[in-house]
Amino acid sequence: MPTPTLLIADPVQEALADGVPVVALESTIFTHGLPRPRNVETALRAEEIVRAGGAVPATIGVVRGWPVVGLTPIEIEELAYDNHVLKASIRDLAHLAVTKKNAGTTIASTAFLARAAGIDVFATGGLGGVHHGASETFDESADMVALSQIPIVLVSSGAKAVLDIRATLERFETYSVPVVGYRTSRYPGFYVADSGYDLSARVESAADVATMATAQKALGVRSAILVANPIPLEDQLDPQELDVVLQRAWAAAEEDGITGQASTPFLLDFIRMATAGRSLDANVALYENNVRLAVEIATELP
């Protein structure tokens, strides 16, 4: 068998060759982020939104060791229902060529593979960032380093709610990664529209984001542009309720001795149960909202 390398689906290759807008979509949202069968429904719905906006979706994942840009519906379902599916960041891609296993791609590896294919815009839900206590544990997401080195427009609704938002924003500043609010001067808080932290830059339209991307390219800046798109107010969780639930989640994690990579899924699952699934609804709503904005930006790029 040949060594797995990047596979770009025919519809994606044709769109890129013809100048048709393409939007990259990550796979960990349906391999690790959402329960079945809602994970597959959400993945396919995101692709429908992209097509309805006049662009071509490129859902990215690893199928039996092969990185694929433009998963088919059958491949999406295979990854979504694989009980042993892995989560792959950039460092994991080469080893998957050995194990030949399925994997959902993180923001870092999705951005990397998207740019390798020539895609300029990527939609996700929430970013990785600095974990609480990172000054002692050094627990920071590889997403941040990757985004400082990969020139792509990434639309998200802020860092995941369980992270240290202030430290995450400071780290992005250190890495010279522009974080720009979409019609807001406040950084979104994932499940809520306002995390409580100010942003120094905002834009009012998809065309503004396209102008930024064109300027960065002309200047030779090699970082991503992070478009912070708040969850619609009608879909957000109650901010006070979320604060209470987060405190309970952290206490439960400490009591159970949950640390490291296990922290985020434990905390998010605690929030889901504590809100009777409403956090799940919010997650899907903000993701679909980000996909819509990503399509608008992709169609504005030259």
Catalytic positions, please? 26, 160
- Report how far residue 203's alpha carbon sits from residue 265's, in angstroms, rounded to the nearest whole number: 32
Residues in the chain: 302
Identify the sign of the CA torsion 182, 184, 189, 190.
Answer: negative
Nearest to 67 by CA among 34, 114, 32: 114
Find residue 56's DSSP bridge partners. Answer: 22
- Report how far residue 140's alpha carbon sits from residue 107's, in angstroms, rounded to the nearest whole number: 13
Q: What is the dihedral of CA 78, 81, 82, 86, to 10 degrees?
A: 90
Task: Look up residue 246 and give its two tokens.
Answer: 């987060």
- Report how far residue 288's alpha carbon sits from residue 290's, in angstroms, rounded to the nearest whole number: 5
Question: Please, are residues 287 and 45 in contact by the beta-carbon 8 Å criterion?
Answer: no
Question: Please, are residues 53 and 88 in contact by the beta-carbon 8 Å criterion?
Answer: no
